[in-house]
């Protein structure tokens, strides 16, 4: 007699996921715009911060361990010598990204490579919810900066490997806009404000349009520059409405304002034109001094007495 034993195995699956992602699988762009860095900014300093809203992304626990993974991928995810700061393709510029939440402590961390993780045990009733609020993107100085353009690429991502669906992408963060990093080749040693006290000028000095004042004031623009820095200035201000000469600034003042005159700034005895770039020189490196002179110039047939101040901005660029 042959007896046949039949073993029947029943596997009953009751799928239960520790994390549920609502409104996830997002691709979010970060564009900080073009960035200018002062040459004397200390290594380790934040150059600029860009906060990216993560509104609507929710992680909810439903029992068990909920694990999130925070992965930095930009430029191969190569860490610099600074904590949580990763090299970009522009030398001297690093990236650091922090993910913050509005509630709980379940999903916050820096993007790292290998990925950093957070784990939390939630009750089976799914009563713990974490709302991702913001991704803070920090551009950090890691060393001497070479002017360049950041590559558009994925910065990193946050995933959860115990979610529904499995290995759910919470969000992916991308760098966009091809931001240009410009490292200033000089630093200003003479201060950020230049004042030109011309003093009182008799109105009868001005005998015809184009006559300039005998009184002048000269101040030195001082710079400390890298070798081969190409130094340019652009004068930004309000042109005198009484003249078509775009080197003459309008005057202003409190109370009675003089009429028939404007202000000129000169370099090497030549007027600096408004909104036109002027090349000063290519530096050999080190201290540079540029004398700038201010004077009055007649703009109308008749000059009347009064206050005659002028305000302008001298922008310094290196190209």
| pLDDT at position 120 | 65
Domain span(s) for CATH 2.60.40.3310 in the chain: 19-183
CATH of segment(s) 186-318: 2.60.40.1090
CATH class of this structure's domain 19-183 = mainly beta
Report the DSSP pairing between strands 35-37 and 180-183.
parallel
Q: Percent of the chain beyond pLDDT 90?
A: 62
Q: What is the pLDDT of residue 212?
A: 97
Distances (CA, A) of 20 to 68, 106, 126, 167, 283: 11, 13, 9, 11, 60
Cα(238)–Cα(247) distance, rounded to whole angstroms? 10
What CA–CA distance (Å, rounded) separates 298 from 212?
Answer: 6
pLDDT in tens, 193-247: 999 999 999 999 999 999 999 999 999 999 999 888 889 999 999 999 999 999 9
Three-class HEC string of the chain: CCCCCCCCCCCCCCCCCCEEEECCCEEEEECCCCEEECCCCCCCCEEEEEEEECCCCEEEECCEEEEEEEEECHHHCCECCCCCCEECCCCCEEEEEEEEECCCCCCCEECECCCEEEEEEECCCCCCEEEEEEEEEEEEECCCCCCEECCCEEEEEEEECCEECCCEEEEEEEECCCCEEEECCEEECCCCCCCCCCCCCCHHHCCCCCCEEEEEEEEEEEEEECCCCEEEEEEEECECCCCCCCCCECCECCCCECECEEEEEEECCEECCECCEEEEEECCCEEEEEEEEEEEEECCCCCECCECECCEEEEEEEC
User: Looking at residue 14, what is its pLDDT?
Assistant: 37
**C-alpha angle 210-212-213 in degrees, rounded to nearest 5:** 155
Q: What is the pLDDT of residues 144-188, one digit of tens each?
A: 998 899 999 999 998 886 555 555 788 899 999 999 998 888 889
Evaluate whether 70 touches 173 at the Cβ level (below 8 Å).
Answer: no
Least confident of 2-6, 62-66, 119-123, 138-142: 2-6
What's the mean pLDDT in 112-120?
86
pLDDT at 2: 37
**Sign (positive or negative) of CA dihedral 90, 96, 99, 100:** negative
What average pLDDT does this structure show over 99-123?
74
How does pLDDT run across 7-25, given as a tens digit for each residue?
333 333 334 456 777 788 8
Residues of the chain with CATH 2.60.40.1090: 186-318
In sign, the C-alpha dihedral spanning 45, 51, 54, 58 is positive
How confident is residue 319, by pLDDT bands cut at 50, 70 and 90? low
> What are residue 118's DSSP bridge partners?
68
**pTM of the complete model beyond 0.75:** no
Own/partner contacts of 278-282, CB < 8 Å, gap of 24 or more, are 278/232, 278/233, 278/234, 278/235, 279/230, 279/231, 279/232, 280/231, 280/232, 280/233, 281/231, 282/228, 282/229, 282/230, 282/231
pLDDT of the residue at 95: 97
Give the pLDDT of residue 215.
96
């Amino acid at each position: 007699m042959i007896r046949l034993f039949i073993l029947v195995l029943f596997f009953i699956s009751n799928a239960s996921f520790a994390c549920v992602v609502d409104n996830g699988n997002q691709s979010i762009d970060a564009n900080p715009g073009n960035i200018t860095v002062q040459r004397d900014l200390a290594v380790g300093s934040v150059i600029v911060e860009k906060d990216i809203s993560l509104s609507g992304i929710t992680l909810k626990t439903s029992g068990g361990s909920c694990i999130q993974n925070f992965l930095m991928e930009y430029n191969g995810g190569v860490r610099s010598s600074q904590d949580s700061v990763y090299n970009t393709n522009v030398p001297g510029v690093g990236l650091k990204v922090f993910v913050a939440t509005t509630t709980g402590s379940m999903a916050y961390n820096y993007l790292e490579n290998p990925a950093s993780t957070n784990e939390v045990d939630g009750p089976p009733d799914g009563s713990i919810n974490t709302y991702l609020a913001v991704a803070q993107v920090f551009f950090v100085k890691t060393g001497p900066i070479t002017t360049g353009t950041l590559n558009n690429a994925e910065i990193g991502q946050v995933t959860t490997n115990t979610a529904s669906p499995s290995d759910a992408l919470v969000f992916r963060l991308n760098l966009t806009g091809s931001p240009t990093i410009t490292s200033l080749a000089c630093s200003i040693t003479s201060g950020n404000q230049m004042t030109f006290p011309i003093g009182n000028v008799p109105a009868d000095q001005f005998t015809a349009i184009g006559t300039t004042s005998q009184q002048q004031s000269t101040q030195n623009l001082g710079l400390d520059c890298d070798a081969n820095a190409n130094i340019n200035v652009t004068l930004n201000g309000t042109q005198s409405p009484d003249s078509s000469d775009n080197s003459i600034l309008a005057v202003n003042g409190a109370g009675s304002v003089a009429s028939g005159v404007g202000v000129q700034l000169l370099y090497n005895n030549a007027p600096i034109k408004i909104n036109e770039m002027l090349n000063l020189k290519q530096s050999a490196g080190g201290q540079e001094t540029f004398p700038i002179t201010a004077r009055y110039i007649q703009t109308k047939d008749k000059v009347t007495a009064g206050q005659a101040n002028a305000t302008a901005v001298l922008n310094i660029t290196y190209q």
